[in-house]
């Protein structure tokens, strides 16, 4: 009896690791935007929702191959991210920070309602079921393994882009000093737009990975959104490595907590842990000391 129990626990831990990979990807996009533009997109998960719908419609209704549907979704959501910045964030950049947070909350309502108007409240899925990887008594769905692996590759890509390319260096520089960088010839408006598009593209990629595992419906953003913010904040908003680690901590709470109790309790524990961490280290669990 005890042995079987442990196998299921191990399965929960491994699933938590895989979930952590996807969560880390979601958090990365949000974190990048926060680090560079100093804005929290409350509607980030709604962009993911639109990406999931895009894949769903292109694949099941229009019969396009899945990779094409993925590519279109990523580009579309990247475009949406840029549009969001241009139309909504840019006009309030000079106003109080909290307005920037709230204005994207308005976008959240808008997108959620728009999805309901356009697609109805039905739960939709791709109708694909990938097999599971079976190791002994442990079942790991391939969709999750694939998602976690893709997320890791994408994160590595973003990291290399930020470290090795000229544009990436410019983005990192502007996040360090908003006043000085324009004097060095960098155009903040252009870099902000580019960062928003990258952030949107990461949301689009997240959508592709999530639509393999979950049904899409207009309110799905509310189930991923809060957890993504918590991951970013706990990692230290704008701290990409911290967000990466925090994602795995959170995913373990949800997966293992859900294993011992009910899935909601996993989330409750993760949120309580988050609040606790905020009180002990307000700048985030993995923030560098000083500032």
Q: Is 185 left (phi over 0), alpha (psi -120 to 50) or beta?
A: left
Query: Of 81 and 218, which has the nearer Cβ to other proteins?
Result: 218
Phi/psi of residue 26, nearest 5 degrees: -60, -45
Q: Does position 31 bind other proteins by CB under 8 A?
A: no
Nearest distance, CB of residue 236 and other proteins, angstroms: 11
Nearest distance, CB of residue 70 and other proteins, angstroms: 28
Which are the contacts of 12, defined by CB distance < 8 A and separation ≥ 6? 255, 256, 258, 259
Closest CA to 67 of 134, 121, 146: 146
Q: Does position 265 bind other proteins by CB under 8 A?
A: yes
Which are the contacts of 19, defined by CB distance < 8 A and separation ≥ 6? 144, 148, 251, 254, 255
Which positions from 200 through 219 interact with other proteins, judged by CB under 8 A?
Answer: 218
Q: Does position 123 bind other proteins by CB under 8 A?
A: no
- Judged by CB under 8 A, which of 156, 165, 264, 288 binds other proteins? 264
- Please give the Cα distance from 179 to 271 (Å, whole number): 36
Query: Of 65 and 97, which has the nearer Cβ to other proteins?
Result: 97
Nearest distance, CB of residue 103 and other proteins, angstroms: 4
- Judged by CB under 8 A, which of 61, 67, 94, 96 binds other proteins? 96
User: Which spans in 165-262 are helix H?
Assistant: 166-176, 188-211, 221-235, 240-260
Closest CA to 48 of 97, 123, 115: 115
Beta bridge partners of 140: 133
Query: Of 156 and 288, which has the nearer Cβ to other proteins?
Result: 288
Query: Of 145 and 278, which has the nearer Cβ to other proteins?
Result: 278
Q: Does position 99 bind other proteins by CB under 8 A?
A: yes
Q: Does position 32 bind other proteins by CB under 8 A?
A: no
- Please give the Cα distance from 138 to 288 (Å, whole number): 38
Contact stretch for other proteins (CB under 8 A) within 4-12, 102-110, 135-143, 158-166: 102-110
Q: Which residues bind other proteins (CB under 8 A)?
A: 40, 42, 88, 91-92, 95-99, 101-103, 105-114, 116-117, 120-121, 218, 222, 225-226, 229-230, 233, 237, 261-262, 264-265, 267-268, 271-272, 274-275, 278-279, 282
């Amino acid at each position: 009896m005890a042995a079987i129990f442990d196998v299921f626990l191990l399965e929960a831990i491994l699933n938590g690791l895989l979930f952590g990979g996807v969560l880390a990807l979601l958090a990365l996009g949000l974190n990048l935007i926060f680090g560079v533009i100093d804005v929290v997109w409350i509607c980030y998960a709604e962009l993911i929702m639109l990406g999931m719908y895009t894949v769903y419609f292109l694949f099941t209704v229009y019969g396009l191959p899945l990779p094409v549907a993925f590519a279109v979704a990523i580009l579309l959501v990247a475009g949406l991210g840029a549009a969001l910045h241009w139309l909504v964030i840019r006009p309030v950049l000079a106003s109080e920070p909290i307005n920037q947070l709230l204005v994207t909350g308005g976008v959240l309502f808008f997108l959620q309602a728009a999805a309901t108007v356009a697609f109805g409240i039905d739960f939709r899925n791709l109708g694909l079921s990938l097999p599971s990887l079976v190791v002994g008594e442990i079942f790991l769905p391939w969709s999750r393994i694939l998602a976690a692996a893709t997320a890791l590759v994408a994160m590595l890509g973003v990291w290399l882009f930020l470290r090795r390319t000229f544009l990436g260096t410019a983005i990192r520089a502007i996040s360090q000093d908003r006043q000085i960088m324009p004097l060095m010839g960098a155009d903040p408006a252009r870099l902000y737009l580019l960062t928003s598009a990258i952030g949107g593209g990461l949301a689009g990629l997240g959508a592709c990975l999530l639509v393999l595992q979950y049904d899409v419906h207009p309110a799905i953003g509310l189930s991923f959104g809060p957890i993504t913010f918590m991951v970013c904040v706990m990692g230290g908003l704008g701290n990409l490595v911290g967000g990466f680690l925090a994602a795995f901590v959170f995913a373990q709470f949800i997966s293992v907590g859900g294993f011992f109790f009910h899935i909601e309790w996993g989330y409750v524990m993760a949120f309580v842990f988050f609040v606790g961490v905020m009180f002990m280290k307000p700048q985030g669990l993995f923030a560098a000391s000083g500032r």
